[in-house]
Amino acid sequence: MSVAMRKYGMLYVMLLPAIVTIFVFSYVPMYGIVIAFKEFWITKGIMGSPWVGLANFETVFGLKKFWQVMRNTVEISMLRLLFGFPAPIILALLLNEVRQALFKRTIQTIVYLPHFISWVTISGILFVLLSNDGLVNNLLHALGSAKIQFLSNNEMFRPLLILSALWKEVGWGTIIFLAAIAGVSPELYEAARVDGANRFKQMLHITLPSIAPVTTMLLILSVGSLMSGGGFDQVFNLYNPMVYESGDIIDTYIFRIGLTEGRYSMATTVGLFLNLINLIMLVTANKIAQKTSGNNIY
Amino acid sequence: MNNFVRAGRAAKARVRPANVGASAFDAANAIFLIVLAIVTMYPLWYVMVGSLLPYDEAIRSSFNLYPKKVTLDAYRFVFGSKFIMNGFLLSIVVTIGAVVYQLLITSAAAYSLTKRDLPLRNAIFLFFILTMFASGGLIPTYLLIKSLNLMNNLLVMIIPSGISVFNLIVMKTFIQSLPKELEESALIDGAGYAKIWLRVILPLSGPVLATVGLFVAVGQWNNWMTPMIYLQDKSLWPLAMVLRDILVEDNKFLLNATVQVQRMTLDKTIKNAVIIVSIVPIMLVYPFIQKHFAKGVMIGAIKS
C-alpha cells in the first residue's frame, strides 16, 4: 500500500457514499438516455431494445402538441422572469426605506412565510378561494358581475401562475438583495446627502448601482435556467386538461407521456432535447457570469 | 440576520429630511407594506376561519372575516382519519431519516474535499459539479429505480436523494472556514481523518448542519412527487402525498366516513382543516427556519 493511500485512504472511504449515490442516481440515468435512440420495450430492457436512430426525434418534432408545450414553456418562463425578477428588488428597496426595525422585521417574517408552503397546499388554498362558491366568485357575484371559472379558463391560467408564484416567492427573494444593500457603505449615503440628494435620489444613484453586480449575476443565472425554471410543482398541481392549451409545459408533458401513457422512448427524447437546451443555456450563462464577475460561480 | 440589523442601522444613519415629500413617502410605503402583509396572510386566515365553521354557518356564506360560531368537528375528523395520521407519522419518520442520512454522507464528503492535497480532489469535485448541469431525466431515473426494486419501498424517499451537490458546496465552504489549529493539533495527537471528522469537525459544524438539515427537512416534508411516482401503495404515502390526494385529486375520502360526520361537516370545511394541519408544523419550526435558511441562502449566494 502506497504512502498516499495510507494517508488518504480514510478520506476516500468517507467520500464513497456520496460518490456511489451520485454515480448510481445521477450518472447511471444518463446512460438510460440511449432509449431516446431506441424503441424501448420493457420486456427487452434498455440494452436489448432495438436501435431506431433519430426516428423518435422525427416523431416528436412532427407533433403539433410538442411545439405547443415548447411555446408555452418559453412564454411562461419569460413572464415569470419579467414579473418575478424585478418584484423582489423593488420590495427590498421599499423594505430598506423602513426606519422602524420592529415593523420591518414583522413584515419580513410575514412575507417570507409562503416560501415554505408547498405547491400542493397552495393549490388547495387556491381551489378554496377560486372555486365556484369560493371567496373570489362570491365577491364578483356580490358586485354584480358574472362568476369566473378561474381554473379552467385559458385566459386566466397564466396570470394565476404568475400571481401565485409572486405571492409565494417575492418576500423570500428579497433576502439576497437586502443583504447586498446592507453591504453598501454608509459613507456613500453621507456624501450624497452633503450633495443634497434626497432619499429617492440616494436610492436611484447609490443603492441601485451598488447592488447592480448582484442583480446582474442573478439575472444572468435566471436567464440561464429559464427553461429549467422548476415550474413543474406549481403547474402540475394547478392545471387540468381544460387549460393544457395555455398552461401545459415541457416538464408536465414529459410526465404525462412518460409515466401516464407509458411512452418511455418519446418522453426520454423530449427530456433529452430539453436537457440539451438547458445545458447550452446554463454553460453560456456561467461563462458570461464569469466574465462579468471575474470568477467562477463555483 | 445580522445583515438585516446592519441594513436597519444603515437606514437609520441616513438623513431624516423633515420635508413633507419624505414623510408622505414613508406613509405610503408603510401602507403598501401593510397591504402586502395582509394579502400574504389573508388567504391563510380565510382558510382557517373556514375550517372552524359549523355546517349551518359554512353553507350560509363563504365570506366570514372571523368565525361567528366555532366547531372543531373538521379537525376531529382529520385527526381521526387513519389515512392522514398514518401519513403524518410516515412523514416524520422519513424526514428524520433523510436529514440524518444526508447530513452524515454530505458532511463526510465535504470534509474530505477540503483537503487540498488529496489526490484526484479536483476530478472528484468535478464529478459532483457536472451533475448540476446535466441529468438523465424523468424516465431513465424511473426505469433505474424500478430495476433496483425501490418501488413501493420507503427507502426511495431517502437513498436516491442522499446527497445534493448544492448542500455539499455549502458544507464544504463552511468547513473550510473553520480554524485549522484544532484539526492540526488532533493530527499531531495521531488521530486519523475519520476520528477528526467525528470528534472535531462534526461538533463544530452546528450552524451549517442546522441550515442544511432544515433545507432537507422542509424539502422532504413537502415532497409529494417521489411518492407519487414510486409509491403506489397508499399505506406508504407520507403526508404531502395524502394532502395531494385530498386537495388536488379531490379524493372523495369522505365516502368512507360515517354518515353522521358527512351530515355535520362539509367537504370543504374538512379540506380547509387539512390545509391548516399541513401548514401548522411548518409554522412551528418557522422561527428556526427563518434564522437558518436566510443564512443558508447567503452562504449559497456568497459562492455565486
More confident residue, A28 or B192: A28
Give CA angle at A44 (A39, A48), nearest 5°: 75
- Note whether residue A298 is domain-resident: no
Instruction: Say what the pTM is.
Output: 0.86
pLDDT attached to residue B259: 46
Could you tell me the CATH number of the domain that includes residue A218? 1.10.3720.10
Interface contact B48, partner A, CB < 8 A:
no
Which residues on A lie below 8 Å from B289 (Cβ)? 116
Distance from CA of B35 to the nearest CA of A (A): 10
Do A163 and A240 belong to one domain? yes
Do A101 and A40 belong to one domain? no
- Note whether residue A199 is domain-resident: yes
- Note whether residue B103 is domain-resident: yes
- Note whether residue B151 is domain-resident: yes
Could you tell me the CA-to-CA distances from B108 to A13, A283, B215 in Å, in that order? 9, 29, 18
pLDDT digits (tens, 9 = 90+) for A164-205: 999 999 999 998 899 889 888 888 888 888 888 888 888 888
Do A66 and A204 belong to one domain? yes
| pLDDT < 50: residue spans in chain B | 1-5, 7-10, 12-17, 254-255, 258-259, 303-304
Which residues on B lie below 8 Å from A108 (Cβ)? 4
Q: Which domain holds residue A224?
A: 61-293
Structural domain total, chain A: 2
- Note whether residue B297 is domain-resident: no
Asked if A229 and A80 touch (Cβ cutoff 8 Å), the reply is yes
Do A5 and A74 belong to one domain? no
Structural domain total, chain B: 1
Could you tell me the CATH number of the domain that includes residue B118? 1.10.3720.10
Do A107 and A245 belong to one domain? yes
Do A9 and A116 belong to one domain? no
Residues 6+ apart with CB under 8 A from A5: none
- Note whether residue A230 is domain-resident: yes
Do A124 and A44 belong to one domain? no
Do A35 and A166 belong to one domain? no
CB contact under 8 A, A123 and B62: no
Distance from CA of A75 to the nearest CA of B (A): 22
Do A40 and A69 belong to one domain? no
Q: Which domain holds residue B94?
A: 85-235
Q: What is the ipTM of this complex?
A: 0.86
pLDDT digits (tens, 9 = 90+) for A268-288: 999 999 989 988 888 888 888
Instruction: For residue A282, give the nearest of A222, A223, A224, A228 by alpha carbon.
Output: A224
pLDDT attached to residue B256: 53
Q: Distance (Å, rounded) from C-alpha A97 to C-alpha B14? A: 10
Could you tell me the CA-to-CA distances from B142 to A26, B70, B139, B152, B163 in Å, in that order? 12, 47, 5, 13, 18
| H-assigned helices in B54-81 | 55-60, 73-80
- Note whether residue A237 is domain-resident: yes
Do A243 and A104 belong to one domain? yes
